Amino acid sequence: MVAQRKLPSRESLSYRFRQYWPAYILLLPVVAWYIIFCYAPMGGLVIAFKKYSVLAGIGASPWIGLKNFEKLFTSQAFYQAIKNTLILSGLNFVFGFPLPIIFAILLNEMPGVKYKKVVQTVSYLPHFISWSVAGGLVYMLLSPSTGAIAAVVRAMGGTPQNYIGISRYFRPIVVVSDIWKSIGWSAIIYIAAITSVDEELYEAATIDGAGRFARIWHITLPGIRGIISIQLILTVSKILNVSFNQIFVLISDLTLDVGETIDYYVYRVGLGSTNNMSLATASGMFKSVIGLVLIVVTNYISHKLTDGEGIW
């Protein structure tokens, strides 16, 4: 009797590769990018446990254990950077997270298709402007001599100030400029999720007498709940990330006390006057560990609150 050859399982990697090998080939550049720029540099984290010298190199630099972390956690400047980061991230979360959702819902409720497309296009444009250009626009807008804000203040009988250089105005400027630049692009995923909601639900609700706000509350928001929870997890995991490019362009010595974030602290310590690569690496490593803990905790909470919806 001839033994039958065992067919490969549809769940096996070899079977899937033979079936979908063109897709795997297309995926190779992405995998290579992550390996080269995300995973390979992790070997440099050992610098955080050494007294790193550029001339000696990583291998020959002396091992000092946790001394860099001890120095980090006794630094008043580092604690101020953490405080500034949490405040700016908190403000961006409170105002910046719900606004793309609201914007997507309002855009979906617009009756005119052409007008809707124009608004979408205009809202996307700031995302494609680099912070070097966007920062220049902010400086021009807030200029005490030629800025539009200064003109309004003068028209109202006030005296214009250098708002970008005043500590109490710096954080609102950062939050507002970040929302202006990101709201349209961040709303794309919510717009796509709304279009996948079954139109028959809206028709049935309309027949039952539900108004526009009732349809939004009982159909639209539950329909995109999964996307909102995933975006919430990703946002919370990046609570210690404030756009370095934005801060680098807008900050000055006058606003360092309220604007220096962890990323800017890493830049200033690692590449500034102190040139302490080891301390900068330790602070960056601390931020990454906290981000990992936050994403795990938030994903767990999301599973409990949304009936198992989350990243994994």
Q: Determine the Cα–Cα distance for residues 168 and 163; give it in Å rounded to an integer.
A: 9
Residue 133: the pLDDT is 92
Closest CA to 39 of 49, 30, 27: 30
Is the pTM higher than 0.85? The answer reads no
Q: Which residue has the higher pLDDT, 4 or 94?
A: 94
50 SS3 class:
strand
Is the pLDDT confidence value at 247 over 70?
A: yes
Residue 159: the pLDDT is 86
Could you give the C-alpha distances from 109 to 116, 213, 309, in angstroms and in order? 9, 10, 26
Residue 7: the pLDDT is 47
Residue 240: the pLDDT is 81
Render pLDDT for 89-105 as a digit per residue (tens, 0 to 9): 999 999 989 999 999 99
Question: If you average pLDDT over residues 238-267, what whole number do you get?
Answer: 87
Render pLDDT for 176-201 as a digit per residue (tens, 0 to 9): 999 999 999 999 999 989 988 888 88
Confidence class for position 266, pLDDT limits 50, 70, 90: confident
Q: Which residue has the higher pLDDT, 9 or 267?
A: 267
Phi-psi bin for 3: left (phi > 0), alpha (psi -120 to 50), beta?
beta
Closest CA to 245 of 157, 130, 148, 163: 130
Could you give the C-alpha distances from 252 to 59, 86, 207, 255, in angstroms and in order? 37, 19, 58, 5
Closest CA to 191 of 152, 217, 224: 224
Q: Which residue has the higher pLDDT, 302 or 285?
A: 285
Render pLDDT for 31-59 as a digit per residue (tens, 0 to 9): 999 999 888 888 888 888 888 887 788 88
Contact status, residue 165 vs residue 252, Cβ threshold 8 Å:
yes
Q: Which residue has the higher pLDDT, 293 or 84?
A: 84
Residue 285: the pLDDT is 86
- φ/ψ of 269, rounded to 5, equals -75, -40
Confidence class for position 307, pLDDT limits 50, 70, 90: low
Confidence class for position 303, pLDDT limits 50, 70, 90: confident
